[in-house]
Amino acid sequence: MRLEGKVAAVTGAGSGMGRAIALAFAREGAKVVVADLNPSAGQGVVDEIAAGGGEAIATETDVRKQADAQTMVDAAVERFGGLDILVNNAGVGKIIPFLETTNEDWDFMFDVNCKGLLWCSQAAARQMIAQGRGGKIINLASQAGRRGEALVLAYCASKACVISMTQSIALALAPHKINVNGIAPGIVDTPFWVEVDKQFANLLGMEVGEPKRTFSASIPLGRIEQPEDVTGAAIFLASSDSDYMTQQTINVDGGNWPG
């Protein structure tokens, strides 16, 4: 087990990739704080972890609130004695064309995807620095952060921001032996893409389900990504195997984006 004795907090862990990462970390021996805006979804994942013989607690966490980020870290310390790993996974997206993007759209995506990442990383880093035994921070970026899209301006910009923040936080925390890296998934079959599919279908005059089918058809590895496809990279970045790696964002997207 590669994460034996470690304590991890995963934001947005009630669904999709956050859930898959929380379950995978628990299987690798980590104790997990399942932090989500939706407490019943979080508790469901805690129950799944317990059913598999692991240990986890749920916190009702809105990453946009600094106090909630601190409460998540405090819960890890109170229940499990510290914090070694943070996964900034909570994220939201909306498909909205450039000329129609509103102040609310921009704030919706940047508040969760970027500001939330900042508050959670600060709270976790302060705890990791005080512990003096290093740590790991893993940020969920996206292929959307690698390039622009006419219909996806704000989400693409927010995920480019995640890649940039990963670099800055990595440099700030390198003296403390805290590694900060990212994962950039492609088109992942989660509840997130159910909504994205509907929004693309509406804008492109397609049937619901058609955008997901069409966009997935060109993935070089020949199938849509599943939440479990990112867990190998997440375990690697959370484990000592990645101790000499920081500032990097790894594409885990079936070869969809080359850079």
Ligand X SMILES: NC(=O)c1ccc[n+]([C@@H]2O[C@H](COP(=O)([O-])OP(=O)(O)OC[C@H]3O[C@@H](n4cnc5c(N)ncnc54)[C@H](O)[C@@H]3O)[C@@H](O)[C@H]2O)c1
Active site annotation includes 244:
no
Tokens of 55: 């240990």
- The minimum distance between CB 186 and ligand X, in angstroms, equals 6
Question: What's the CA dihedral at 88, 89, 91, 93 to 10 degrees?
Answer: 130
Cβ distance to ligand X smaller for residue 31 or 159? 159
Cβ distance to ligand X smaller for residue 2 or 115? 115
- The minimum distance between CB 73 and ligand X, in angstroms, equals 14
Residue 136 backbone phi and psi in degrees, to 5: -135, 130
Of 46, 34, 39, the closest CA to residue 8 belongs to 34
The footprint of ligand X (CB under 6 A) covers 11-12, 14-18, 36-38, 41, 61-64, 89-93, 112, 116, 140, 142, 185, 187-188, 190-193
DSSP, collapsed to helix, strand or coil, labels residue 152 as strand
- The minimum distance between CB 167 and ligand X, in angstroms, equals 17
Using DSSP, how many helices (H) and how many strands (E) does the chain show? 9, 7
Adjacency order of strands within the sheet including 56-60: 56-60, 31-36, 7-11, 85-88, 135-140, 178-185, 249-252
- The minimum distance between CB 116 and ligand X, in angstroms, equals 6
Cβ distance to ligand X smaller for residue 55 or 228? 228
Q: Which of 80, 119, 155, 200 is catalytic?
A: 155
Cβ distance to ligand X smaller for residue 3 or 20? 20
- Cα 225 to Cα 63, 103, 220, distances in angstroms: 25, 31, 11
Cβ distance to ligand X smaller for residue 63 or 233? 63
- Cα 77 to Cα 45, 173, 219, distances in angstroms: 20, 20, 42
State how far the Cα of 215 lies from the Cα of 223, in Å rounded to an integer: 10
- The minimum distance between CB 132 and ligand X, in angstroms, equals 28
State how far the Cα of 165 lies from the Cα of 154, in Å rounded to an integer: 16
Residues noted as catalytic: 155
